A = this chain, B = another copy of it.
Amino acid sequence: MLKVVVLGNGNVATHLCQAFEQSQDVLLLQNYNRKGLAVLNCNVSVVSNFKNIASAEIYVVTYNDDSLFETAEELLNLPGLVVHTSGATPMNVFNKFKNFGVFYPLYSFSKTIPVNFNEIPFAVEANTKNNEGVLIRLAKTISPKVYAINSKQRKSLHVAAVFANNFSNFMFTQAKEICDDHNIDFKMLHPIIAQTLHKIEYTEPKLVQTGPAIRNDEETIIEHLKLLDSTKKEIYLNITNAIKNYYGKKL
């Protein structure tokens, strides 16, 4: 049984606590958060006073990237392996510790939306091979998809996820607004979105690009621009030009 304390009360902390509580190979000792808030759908014991924090093998620090430096100080006198869960922060933010690393679940968590950890890839990194082994073991208690990658790769993975997840979601938001403005059911677009995803699971996305930009279909592009407000027009033009440039067809 790996003895674990999770620090923080955000989206990542909530889902990790829930998953560790269910795991038979993890003993989730505590959640620590400064306000002493209960963890949603989880019976873990919560402490708000740092003096009461338990002695664990692994401390999983889920704070915002900006808070990680300060956090390091607080944890200095504790035993065990101290890891953060950030995709964007290098492992070395914790290099004051003897044992440190990264335990990054590559996912976009929302507190109230259930998560199937079996599907979530974990990217782990540690200051020693032994610690890396511990983190792989911990990750494997909740997911079969565990990758050991270094800080530079993880940062690249994080920026790739911004494109693949955050930016694409923003495109869906724009699409939904256009539908709402014209009294169209956004559900009509669900199948085409699902198909896009399905396609990239067995072929490269660059090979299945469609639409007026790659066809260099100026007439359609002009018609589309007429329908859009100035904000959406700017987004449409920027990405259309990027697609044209990518596929070698200049405006």
Interface on A for B, CB 8 Å cutoff?
A: 65-66, 88, 106-110, 113, 119-121, 123, 145, 147, 149, 152-153, 155-179, 181-186, 188-197, 199-201, 203-206, 208-214, 217, 219-220, 223-224, 227-228, 231-232, 234-236, 238-239, 242-243, 245-246
Contacts and interface: CB of A to CB of B under 8 A. Distances in A.
Contacts of A161: 175, 189, 192
A108 B170 contact: no
Contacts of A184: 149, 153, 156-157, 160
A178 B158 CA distance: 10
B160 A164 contact: no
A233 to B, nearest CB: 10
A235 B242 contact: yes
Nearest to A170: B243
Contact of A160 (B123, B175, B204, B239): B175
14 contacts: A109-B210, A110-B199, A113-B203, A163-B172, A163-B235, A164-B189, A167-B171, A167-B239, A168-B168, A168-B172, A170-B239, A190-B200, A235-B238, A238-B239
Given A153-B183, A166-B214, 16 more contacts: A106-B188, A108-B208, A108-B210, A113-B199, A155-B223, A157-B189, A162-B211, A162-B236, A163-B178, A163-B232, A164-B192, A168-B171, A170-B239, A170-B243, A175-B205, A235-B242
A218 B220 CA distance: 36
B191 A121 contact: yes
A61 to B, nearest CB: 17
B166 A209 contact: yes
Nearest to A217: B65
Nearest to A224: B159
Residue from A113, A162, A209 with most neighbouring chain B CB atoms (10 Å): A162
A107 B188 CA distance: 10
Nearest to A120: B191
A106 B191 contact: yes
A98 B232 CA distance: 38
Contact of A88 (B120, B156, B157, B224): B224
Given A160-B179, A208-B108, A171 B171 contact: yes
Contacts of A149: 184
A189 B106 contact: yes
Contacts of A185: 147
Contact of A182 (B152, B164, B204): B152
